[in-house]
């Protein structure tokens, strides 16, 4: 019976890592497109990945609930399922935000100044780093790595504040940039919230390991 349970945990873990990989691919593709200026069709590409994220979310939720009902896990095993079930929503939201960001960037493709691109790229790079570190923390059950993710989010907050100041400066220098600057601010807010969802998962990894919140 334990072998069946362990097999279920393994399969769920593989799919959870696949979801993480897809969200990282979304962020990486957005970053590459922005860096190269090749934004045409970006929204469609990111949306396709998001549909796969959504599909896995539904399957994983069902698999977790079935495993809990069948095996009635306790202690760390139960915390594993709580980690997965609660984190599915966070990863799904990461995917959704990526779609919104891609759409905004594609809309802005003709109005995106180099200074604005320079403000957004570091946020995308740091978020990709956070996703990679979070996946490592999960795979290795590494509490220090999970804590690092939370610390990295401070960088996202600082970059977000810096971008807001830069946008205000652009508006003051050129009032015609108001519309594009507001859209950039909205996109940056999505990036900041995306980081919060990654942190939520990192916190749960710590709880999974220690049982302490």
pTM above 0.75, yes or no: yes
| Residue 211 per-residue DSSP state | S
* Half-sphere CA count of 155, side-chain side, radius 13 A: 17
Q: Please give the pLDDT value at position 114.
A: 86
Q: Which of 195, 212, 206, 210 is nearest to 94 (CA)?
A: 195
Are the C-beta atoms of 191 and 124 separated by less than 8 Å? yes
What number of residues does the chain have?
A: 213
Helix (H, G, I), strand (E, B) or coil at 23: helix
Mean pLDDT of 168-184: 87
Are the C-beta atoms of 163 and 119 separated by less than 8 Å? yes
Q: How far apart are CA 55 and CA 148, in angstroms?
A: 30
Mean pLDDT of 1-16: 92
pLDDT, greater one: 212 or 90: 90
pLDDT, greater one: 99 or 211: 99
- The vertex-157 CA angle with 156 and 159, nearest 5°, equals 65
Residue 40 backbone zone (phi > 0: left; psi -120 to 50: alpha; other: beta): beta
Domain count, the chain: 1
CATH number at residue 64: 1.20.58.220
Burial of 162 (0-12, 13-18, 19+ CB in 10 A): middle
Mean pLDDT of 186-197: 96
Q: Please give the pLDDT value at position 110.
A: 80
Mean pLDDT of 174-193: 90
Span 141-162, pLDDT tens digits: 999 999 999 999 999 999 999 9
Span 31-53, pLDDT tens digits: 999 999 999 999 999 999 999 99
Domain that holds residue 126: 2-210
What count of other Cβ atoms lies within 10 Å of the Cβ of residue 138? 23
Mean pLDDT of 195-208: 97
Are the C-beta atoms of 131 and 27 separated by less than 8 Å? yes
């Amino acid at each position: 019976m334990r072998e069946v349970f362990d097999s279920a945990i393994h399969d769920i873990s593989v799919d959870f890592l696949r979801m993480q990989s897809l969200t990282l691919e979304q962020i990486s593709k957005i970053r590459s497109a922005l860096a190269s200026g090749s934004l045409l069709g970006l929204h469609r590409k990111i949306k396709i990945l998001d549909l796969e994220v959504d599909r896995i979310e539904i399957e994983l939720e069902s698999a977790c609930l079935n495993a809990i009902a069948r095996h009635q896990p306790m202690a760390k095993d139960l915390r594993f399922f709580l980690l997965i079930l609660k984190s599915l929503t966070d990863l799904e939201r990461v995917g959704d935000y990526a779609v919104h960001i891609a759409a905004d960037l594609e809309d802005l493709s003709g109005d995106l100044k180099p200074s604005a691109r320079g403000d957004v790229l570091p946020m995308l790079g740091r978020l990709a780093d956070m996703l990679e570190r979070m996946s490592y923390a999960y795979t290795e059950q590494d509490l220090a790595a999970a804590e690092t993710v939370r610390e990295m989010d401070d960088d996202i907050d600082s970059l977000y504040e810096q971008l807001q100041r830069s946008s205000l400066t652009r508006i003051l220098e050129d009032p015609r940039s108001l519309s594009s600057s507001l859209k950039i601010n909205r996109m940056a807010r999505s990036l900041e919230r995306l980081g919060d969802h990654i942190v939520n998962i990192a916190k749960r990894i710590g709880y999974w390991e220690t049982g302490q919140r």
